Homo-oligomer: A and B are copies of this chain.
Amino acid sequence: MTATPPELARFSINQETVRQLSLPALAEACGELGVTQAGLWREPVRRYGVEAAARLMGDAGLTVTSLCRGGFLTATDPGERRRALDDNRAALEEAAALGTGTLVLVSGGLPRGSRDLRGARERVADALAELGDHAAAVGVRLALEPLHPMFASDRCVVSTLGQALDLAERFPPDQVGVVVDTYHLWWDDQVPGHIARAGSTGRIAAFQLADWVTPLPEGVLVGRGQLGDGCVDLRHFRSLVDAAGYRGPVEVEIFNPGLWARDGTEVLAQTARRYVRHALG
């Protein structure tokens, strides 16, 4: 295992950035580069086995910085809602087993046929209330992630950091935090104030990086850019989050078929270099 370069001390690779790598291949690539932190996703972890994944990460000296993702808490149908809550309880247990204190939540979009954004946001709050004690009991924080407004109807009715904080602040800070993701928030001129507010109330549960590039692909889900390829001032964002008192991992999470088509270890190495060049200093 390579010693961690000091400039990568806070760097974490989100598994989805290099989804072409199996969990063992990810662990090996991280070892070669001196990367010591990774954010994981539930589906590949469950396929590998949660306990086995936890052992693999531990044996490789890797800290799991977050688990993606719970959420999808906006259903009005009682059965669907109960299943979603059960699934989030399972996700909390998985996060705890992996040793991460952060479960990323994507709130969910509008139910089919609904036009009631406010009601959907209130159902997210209701769900956080139902999950909060469980989260605290297993030492995992529910990290509410605002997604870009282009996802407001079909994925996430929480569109700004301000909205996420309005929801999170109804609960104790050890139960509910927020995710600051540059891809989703870069356009918002209110975000410096929101980041300061999130920091002062101890709510920043995760900080994630991706760049904004156009044209957006159909469906807009997998159009994120490698760091430095787009128009987000990543260094400025990092300085805002640092100034707000955040000292945790900086996780790079990019969904991009171009990156997925290449050698995963090479993409990881490039991502680490880009992180140093565009987010540090």
Contact = CB atoms under 8 A, between A and B. Distances in A.
A63 interface: no
Interface of A is mostly: loop
Interface residues of A, number: 34
A188 B159 contact: yes
Given A216-B219, A218-B218, A220-B216, A230 B187 contact: no
Interface string A216-232: 11111000000000111
Nearest to A233: B115
A116 interface: yes
Given A216-B150, A216-B218, A220-B216, A116 B233 contact: yes
Contacts of A188: 149, 159-160
A117 B233 CA distance: 9
Nearest to A230: B153
A117 B189 contact: yes
Nearest to A157: B187
Interface string A121-156: 100000000000000000000000000111011100
A118 interface: yes
A86 to B, nearest CB: 27
Interface of A: 110, 114-118, 121, 148-150, 152-154, 159-160, 162-163, 186-190, 212, 214-220, 230-233
Given A116-B233, A150-B150, A153-B230, 6 more contacts: A148-B150, A149-B150, A149-B187, A160-B188, A215-B219, A216-B216
